[in-house]
Amino acid sequence: MLLENFTPWSALIGGLLIGLSASFLLLFSGRLSGISGILQGLLPPFSGDVGLRAIYVVGLIGAPLLLTAFAPSLIPEIEFRSSTGFLIVAGLLVGFGTRLGSGCTSGHGICGLPRLSPRSIVATGVFFTVAALTVFAMRTASLV
């Protein structure tokens, strides 16, 4: 399956689950569900809530593993058209952007926008603008 194929039901269910988990985290711990911030707290110097952060990350990694083990037909086949080196550089650039933007799309987009945070509105706008320009540039470059 190519990433161009839109599957509305799985997207709707996934979005609802992400919103539900972010809401639960905020309601029961008072924390925002910003993945970059959660991961950062697992690196030295450690924050005081390492256990909660570790459980959250285990859930992020464990859920797809459980789905793969018990319902592999639900996992879409994804084809990567880029080299491993290119993907590593892209990941490092995303990490740099996350530090520069003081958060990621999950923190700003999922948790900041509903709270009408001006910083999150600007950050999310920049994230998606850069993403759209990147897709345009990559598709244009591959046509040459």
pLDDT of residue 1: 42
- Nearest CA-CA partner of 131 in 112, 111, 104, 107: 104
Q: Where are the domains of the chain?
A: 1-79, 81-144
pLDDT of residue 144: 52
What is the value of pTM for the model shown?
A: 0.69
pLDDT of residue 85: 92
Rounded Cα distance, 24 and 75, in Å: 25
In the structure encoding, which two tokens stand for residue 101, read together?
């933007």
Instruction: Say how many residues make up the chain.
Output: 144
Number of neighbours of residue 98 by Cβ within 10 angstroms? 22
- Nearest CA-CA partner of 110 in 99, 102, 120: 120
Q: What is the pLDDT along the chain (144 residues), one digit of tens a residue?
A: 455 667 788 889 888 988 898 888 888 888 888 888 888 888 888 777 888 889 889 988 998 899 999 998 888 777 887 889 988 998 888 888 888 888 888 888 888 898 899 999 999 999 899 889 988 998 888 665
Distances in Å between the Cα of 92 and the Cα atoms of 44, 87, 97, 99, 120 are 19, 9, 9, 11, 22
Prior bond of 118 cis (ω within 30°): no
**Dihedrals φ, ψ of 89, to 5°?**
-60, -40
